[in-house]
């Protein structure tokens, strides 16, 4: 499989690249700096240098090339409204259009659980972040692509457990980025899963089994 990752220098994107490479997949990505491109090259990843916020749809489509699937795992993490709009909002919409221009049908988006942090008072910028993320989910779900939206719980660092709870609706808890990346890698290798929103939390089901359980009959 040939995969292009937007957000390949991030926590989930970097781990996903490693897991896909270990499966024998070809991995491409988008980075902002030449030194990032060089570092990824030493790990067998072909990266294109460009800024998602300033690239045109045509430039992004050219960067995608002839890949099998695009993964969008970039995010502002609730930063400034300007960054959230450029990456989590306009960036997703641009990538959707560029995928169509490039003829890439499969598109996976790492989103957030809508209930995240509802138990606490959030600042204006974080609330805006959640609203923009939901808008991106809507845009992708209304596209003609073979899409997948993955909504993980609160993200943690550290080693994964290899077991999760995955389905159309899950409670909001916490999950390691490692388990998110492993689940996403497994989902990408299951062509029968498409045009679905799946939520992800810690659980007791082995990842491969959890993915298979979400294949529609």
Catalytic amino acids?
Answer: 129
In angstroms, rounded to a whole number, what is the distance separating the alpha carbons of residues 175 and 180?
7
How does DSSP classify residue 122? Answer: P
CA nearest 179: which of 166, 194, 169? Answer: 166
How many other C-beta atoms are found inside a 10 Å radius of the C-beta of residue 10?
Answer: 17
Cα angle: 197, vertex 52, 152; to 5 degrees: 25
Q: Given the structure tokens 């996976």, which residue do they identify?
A: 108
CA nearest 129: which of 180, 85, 184? Answer: 85
């Amino acid at each position: 499989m040939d995969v292009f990752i937007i957000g390949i220098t991030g926590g989930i994107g970097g781990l996903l690249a490693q897991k896909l490479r270990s499966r024998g997949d070809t991995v491409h990505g988008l980075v902002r700096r030449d030194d990032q491109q060089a570092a990824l090259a030493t790990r067998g990843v072909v990266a294109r240098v460009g800024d998602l916020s300033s690239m045109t749809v045509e430039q992004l489509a050219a960067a995608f090339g002839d890949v099998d699937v695009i993964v969008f795992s970039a995010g502002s993490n609730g930063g400034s409204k300007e960054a959230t709009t450029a990456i989590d909002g306009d960036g997703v919409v641009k990538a959707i259009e560029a995928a169509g221009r490039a003829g890439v049908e499969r598109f996976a988006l790492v989103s957030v659980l809508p209930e995240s942090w509802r138990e606490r008072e959030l600042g204006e910028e974080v609330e805006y972040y959640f609203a923009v993320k939901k808008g991106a989910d809507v845009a992708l779900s209304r596209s003609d692509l073979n899409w997948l939206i993955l909504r993980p719980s609160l993200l943690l660092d550290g080693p994964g457990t290899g077991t999760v709870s995955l389905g159309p609706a899950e409670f909001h808890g916490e999950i390691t980025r490692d388990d998110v990346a492993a689940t996403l890698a497994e989902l990408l290798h299951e062509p029968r899963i498409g045009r679905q929103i799946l939520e992800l939390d810690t659980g007791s089901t082995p990842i491969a089994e959890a993915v298979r359980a979400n294949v529609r009959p």
